[in-house]
Amino acid sequence: LSLRSRIVLLDSSERIIAVLGGVPPASEGQEWNETAEQGNVAVGGFREHSTFTNSQQHGRRGDFAYRTVGFGYGNGRKQPLNYRVNGGANQRAVGELLKNPAIRRIAGFQKCASIFNCYAHKTYLEYQTTNEELLRRHPHLRPNFPGTPYAALTVNAGPQSYSPPHKDPDNVVHGWCADTALGKFDPNKGGHLVLWDLGLVIRFPPGSTILFPSSLITHSTIPIQKGETRFAFIQYSSGGLFRWRANGFKSDKDFLSTASKQDIRERDASRARRWKVSLSRFTRWGDLLQGDWKGTRRTEAGLDELSDLSSSDVETLHSAKRSCRRYKQ
């Protein structure tokens, strides 16, 4: 991946499963370099003015400082809640980071029509609608940015942020996380994103953005060189939020305590076909080439959910590298 390229990854059925987004097309060169550098300074300042617990410096994703902000559901939470940031200094550091113009611009690029909305429109709408409904129902929830489809943001504040092979099982399975690399490192020698299930090692320079289903694909980051810094700015949503919404804004336990037998049958049927619905949300490369990036014609033809899917399709997102194709735009 170079800053000026945009590459889409396709599965064997030509679903777009990831986008190596580079930078905004109209901002190539010095302008975006300045934005990335300002973002780098902002994350460095955030790190300097924050304190981190031992678990926030040595997690399963690597030995680097990180903080998660926004909201989620699951892992013991009885309802959707904001991620807690303890201490006045840490709260001020988070507030300054989220208000930073460069950080807001990077966040906007991750979600705008250039990447998420354009290449995964149906999933984008699902995220956006879920966020909007959650915020209406639960006014205590605080979004990180105005109009964002993502519920959460994790800032990997380094100083050397790289991770061993892992998945992010709490995220929406078919959903995309948006990952922007920041810092000062040589992208020819380290910082590469490795997508193990696809057999790809991807050059990932500072200031560039990649979107992919991090819950589905095993991924890692190659270490950078001694004395270099690497940060990461990652937006995503937990799958629990979508289950909460599907239950009528209730936990599984509360749903089952009041549901009729018919309600339970309908929910079980919905869950049984969830993998097919999830696959249908991936944009088809052919549709995008024909200008139908929203997949409108496919929806109107009744092909969205069941008609063109077989049980064998569940394997396509675990495809070997021979069935993962790349197209450069």
Q: How far apart are CA 68 and CA 70, in angstroms?
A: 7
Q: In which order are the strands placed within the sheet that holds 209-212?
A: 81-82, 65-72, 152-158, 229-236, 177-184, 209-212, 16-22, 7-10, 325-328
Residue 28: predicted pLDDT: 61
* Assessment of whether the complete model's pTM goes beyond 0.85: yes
User: Which pLDDT band holds residue 316 (cuts at 50, 70, 90)?
Assistant: very low
CA angle 300, 127, 4 (to 5 degrees): 90
Q: What is the pLDDT confidence band of residue 262, given thresholds at 50, 70 and 90?
A: very high
**Percentage of the chain surpassing pLDDT 90?**
66
Lowest mean pLDDT among 25-39, 68-82, 164-178, 299-313: 299-313
- Rounded distance between C-alpha atoms, residue 108 and residue 274, angstroms: 29
Q: 316: helix, coil or strand? A: helix
Beta bridge partners of 16: 10
Count, residues in the chain? 329
DSSP conformational letter for 172: -
Instruction: Find the distance separating the first CA and the last CA of the chain, reported in whole Å.
Output: 12
Of 207, 98, 222, 123, the closest CA to residue 165 belongs to 222
Segment 117-148, tens digit of pLDDT: 989 999 999 999 999 999 999 999 999 999 99
Mean pLDDT of the residues in the chain: 87
210 contacts 119 by C-beta, under 8 angstroms: no
Asked if residue 322 has pLDDT above 70, the reply is no
- What Rg do the C-alpha atoms of the chain give, in angstroms? 20
Range name among 150-159, 290-299, 307-316 with the lowest pLDDT average: 307-316
